[in-house]
Amino acid sequence: MRVTNTTANEMVSQLYVHHHGWIFNFLRRKLGCTQEAADLTQDTFIKVMCKDDLRDMAQPRAYITHIAHGVMVNHVRRKEIEKAYLASISDHPEPEYYSPETKAIMLETLFLIDEMLDGLNAKVKSAFLMSQLEDLSHMEIAQALGVSVSSVRKYIANALLHVLRHRA
């Protein structure tokens, strides 16, 4: 039996009423910022609303905390990527600065790339990025990572397969 939209909405409403404050405080303690905690609390409940089947939830607080933790981790990763991007463009002379729209597009692209490469071993990810972004040869990558050239070839092949699976 599938939960109707009305029932699902009621369940989400109940979850929100009973657990909003707790999740907000959990995120505020982790992030140290009230505004970010408020935003991520809302994002957490939006994700809960998008879930298909909420009726079998045995431990609602654990379930919502798990979702909130994932939302927080993604938020922190995005901030780190944005910080690295802004640091990299700050080294360029002012005429090379990008418009706000271009910056937003570039950041979103970086976020998508990071998401696509999520789950890869650190050396596999590094080898792939060095080959794609820095145009390094397999030998140069092998030296940088302290591995053999054949390992670099395997790393890059694994990364390409991972990206292809992610796109499918």
* Predicted structure pTM score: 0.66
Alpha helices per DSSP H over the chain = 5-31, 34-50, 60-90, 100-117, 122-133, 138-145, 149-167
**73's tokens:** 């981790």
Distance spanning both ends of the chain, measured CA to CA:
30
Fold of 1-98: Rna Polymerase Sigma Factor; Chain: A (1.10.1740)
**65's tokens:** 């905390």
Residue 135: predicted pLDDT: 84
Residue 109 to residues 35, 65, 165, Cα–Cα distance (Å):
25, 28, 18
Residue 48 to residues 57, 58, 60, 66, 125, Cα–Cα distance (Å):
11, 15, 10, 11, 31
Residue 55: predicted pLDDT: 63
Domain boundaries, the chain: 1-98, 119-168
Three-class SS of residue 47? Answer: helix
Selected from 1.20.1260, 2.40.128, 1.10.10, 3.40.720, the CATH number assigned to the domain covering 119-168 reads 1.10.10
Residue 15: predicted pLDDT: 86
pLDDT tens digits, residue range 119-152? 889 999 999 988 988 888 999 999 999 999 999 9
26 near 65, Cβ under 8 Å? Answer: yes
Low-confidence stretches of the chain (pLDDT < 50) are: 1-3
Residue 95: predicted pLDDT: 56
Q: Alpha-carbon distance 22 to 61, whole Å?
A: 9
